[in-house]
Structures are given as C-alpha cells and as structure tokens.
Amino acid sequence: MSIGITNFGRRRGPARLLALLLALGLVAAACGSDDGGGGGDETAAGSGSGAAADAKPSGTLRLGYFANVTHAPAIIGVEDGLFAKALGPDVKIQYSTYNAGTEAIEALSTGSIDATFVGPNPAINGYAASLADKQGGVLRIVAGTTSGGASLVVKPDIADAKDLKGKSLATPSLGNTQDVALRSWLATKGLKTDPTGGGDVKIVPQDNADTLTTFQEGDIQGAWVPEPWATRLVDEGGGKVLVNEADLWPGGKFVTTHLVVREDYLKDHPANVKALISGLLAAIDEANGDTAKAEKATNDGIEKVTTKRLSDETIAGAWKNLTFTPDPIASSLERSKDDAVKVGLLKDVDLDGIYDLSILNQLLKADGKSEVDGL
C-alpha cells in the first residue's frame, strides 16, 4: 500500500474565483440533461452491482477531502486507516486536501483526482458544467457523509438581518455551499448581493483560516462557514450565531458533505469505489460510536493538514452540531440547486442522473440497514 498526501488548500481572490467559475460554466451554466444515467439506486454508470463491483480492488485511487469537522468521517477514514484497510494492499491511495468545494470540483473535473468529499453546491455546479460541455455529467454522488454544521456568525452588535446592510461577510468560496446558503438567506430578507462583491451586503470569498483573522481584526462583520470555523468564530473571535443553518431545513437535515466520484472511474473501477464506500461506512460508524476516539482522530487529521490542533472545547462544540450519515439527503440537494438559481449563480439544470447509490445500497442491505433514496 502506497499512500501520498498533497495539500491543495490555497487562497484565491474573488476575481480569480469568478474567472474560474465562468471558465467552468458554473455561473449561468447552460441547462442540460443526462442521457445515460438514472436517479435513485439505479446504476447510472452500469457498474453498481454484479461481478465487476465484487472484483478485487486494484490500481490507484486519488481522493480529496477537507480539514473541516464537517468532513470528520473522511478524516477518520484516513487517520484510522479504514480506507486503506477496505481498499487493500493492491491499491495506491493518494490524498489531496482542499479549502473549498470549487477547488475540489475543479480537480475532479480536470482529472486530477478520482473522488472527493465535497458539499452539495460544488457538486451541482460541476455536474451542470459538464452537461453544458456535453461530457455526460462527469461525476456521480455515491454516498452521503454529513448533515448540518454550518452557521452565520456575526459581531455581537448585529441583532438581525437589517443590520447587515452595508456590511462585509465572508464565505469559503464563490459558489460553494455556504456561499449559496448565505446569498439565498439574504435574498429572503430583501438584501441583494452579486458575484463581484456588490449589492446591499458585500460577500468576500476567502480561506476559512483567513476569515477567522479578518473577523478578529474587524475587516469583516460576519461569515457563513462550516464547522469547526463557526465555533471558532464564536470562541476565538467573540462572535455570536445569528443563523444556524439547520433551523432553515425540515427536521434540521440537509447535506453538508457527500462522496462524489468521477463517472469514468466508477465505470472502470467499481470494486475500488465499493471498497471506498465500505471504508466510509466504517468511518461513519466510528464517528457515531466512540465520540472521544472519533474526535481525536479528526483533530489529529486536521492538525496534520493545517499544522494547528483544535482545542478540545472547539471540536466538542462543533461535533454537537453535526450528524454523520450515509444518506445523501437528496431532497436538500434539489433545494440547494434551486437556491443557486435564485441568486444568479446557476441556470436551472436537471439533476436526474447525478446520483448512483447502487453500491451504497448494496452494502447497506448486506449490513441489515435501511437503503437510501436519490432524486
């Protein structure tokens, strides 16, 4: 087993991010439909079951994830060797880490990685862009990972939405999941934004680590960020939670992180994908079981990537806002797409075919667990 780790988490300015999104077709991406895939638990790539998926894993798997607590099962899978164990000695694993979903989807779309843990909106954007380029969808969501764990944290003197007019707020990246959530919520409050930082509220895309610094220094007055950054803005930045995103969703359930695989990799290496999902299920079980062990593994992984360890209070505070589940909560993906359309970051796109949950459901059924649905 050979394992390599690369850190691609880098800062990108708003102008570069906008140029990237335009280049990929993520802003005002053309509508399209997938001619080859089905939703739900159908096998869109023709590889979700049968002898091919039961073959021995081999070759190389290049996997992306983030050093965020919302990616805890991914980090646990790396740190505790659950992915390596599931994939076996004949697979060379190469890990890459990212700051935001736009970077991860760029890597996936250009063939730099084979699979990645990522939020819903970047997955939607990548899928829409590939349909516009007539690439057949390029990616498939094969499993859920995390629900919850994102909040709008603001300065203590901000009481409600009207106090945000004229203020500067940060998100991890233009067009990423938290960026869309913030813009959509502001729109419901009658506040306008635009992709270049104009409008009633200026939105500044920046690395999460930079957000903590700029919040502490007063350059921004708030940020919509995932865990552990929301907790850190409260504990270290003196902020307060104005909006817990879970309060905006039915039952508090919405996809924050799921596992996405390149369509061609799923077709050519179904056994590797099956093993990867098996490792993920083991990691989710650990995250939901021995909390102390899971938090330590997650913190160890974050420290390796960022060189900084979270305080025990921070990781415990973030953990309580998260639910770890293999269910991708497909209904929330559709709404996330609609929100992106409403705020002008995406033209409407048919998401039928974006899910291939056949391998996941095969594994869940074999383990006596309930199967999950796509769109």
pLDDT in tens, 6-36: 554 443 444 444 444 444 444 433 323 332 2
Boundary of a domain, candidates 201, 234, 251: 251
Q: Is the same domain home to 143 and 194? A: no
Q: Is residue 124 part of a domain?
A: yes
225-256 burial: b if 16+ Cβ within 10 Å, else e: bbbbbbbbbbbebebbbbbbbbeebeeeebbb
Q: Is the same domain home to 141 and 183? A: no
pLDDT given at position 42: 34
Q: Is the same domain home to 128 and 11? A: yes
Q: Is residue 374 part of a domain?
A: no
Alpha carbon distances (Å) from 240 to 3, 157, 251: 40, 9, 23
Boundary of a domain, candidates 251, 276, 300: 251
* pTM of the complete model: 0.83
Q: Is the same domain home to 201 and 217? A: yes
Sequence-ordered list of residues with C-beta below 8 angstroms from that of 111, at least 6 positions apart, any chain: 262
Q: Is residue 371 part of a domain?
A: no
pLDDT given at position 28: 36
Mean pLDDT, rounded, for 138-157: 96
Q: Is the same domain home to 11 and 140? A: yes
Q: Reply yes or no on whether the pLDDT at 258 is more than 70.
A: yes
Q: Is the same domain home to 264 and 277? A: yes
Q: Is the same domain home to 241 and 260? A: no
**Angle, CA of 260, 265 and 267, to the nearest 5°:** 105
Taking every pair of Cα atoms in the chain, the longest distance, rounded to a whole number of angstroms, is: 61
**What residues pair up with 63 in beta bridges, in sequence order?**
95, 115
Query: If residue 153 lies in a helix (H) or strand (E), which one and from where to where?
Result: strand 150-154
Q: Is the same domain home to 140 and 184? A: no
* CA 137 from centroid of its chain's CA atoms: 18
Q: Is the same domain home to 135 and 275? A: yes
Domain count, the chain: 2
Q: Is the same domain home to 143 and 31? A: yes
DSSP SS3 for 356:
coil
Q: Is the same domain home to 245 and 300? A: no
Boundary of a domain, candidates 227, 251, 275: 251
**Residue 25 structure tokens:** 């077709």
- The CA distance from 240 to 227, in Å, is 14
Domain of residue 185: give its range.
150-251
- Band (102; pLDDT cuts 50, 70, 90): confident
Q: Reply yes or no on whether the pLDDT at 349 is more than 80.
A: yes
Percent of the chain with pLDDT over 70: 85
What average pLDDT does the structure give for the chain? 87
pLDDT in tens, 315-337: 999 999 999 999 999 999 999 99
Q: Is the same domain home to 83 and 8? A: yes
- The CA distance from 246 to 368, in Å, is 29
Q: Is residue 355 part of a domain?
A: yes
Q: What is the CATH number of the domain that holds 247?
A: 3.40.190.10
pLDDT in tens, 212-250: 999 999 999 999 999 999 999 999 999 999 999 999 999
- Band (137; pLDDT cuts 50, 70, 90): low
Of 86, 85, 84, 110, nearest to 95 (Cα)? 84
Q: Is residue 21 part of a domain?
A: yes
Q: Is residue 372 part of a domain?
A: no
Q: Is residue 349 part of a domain?
A: yes
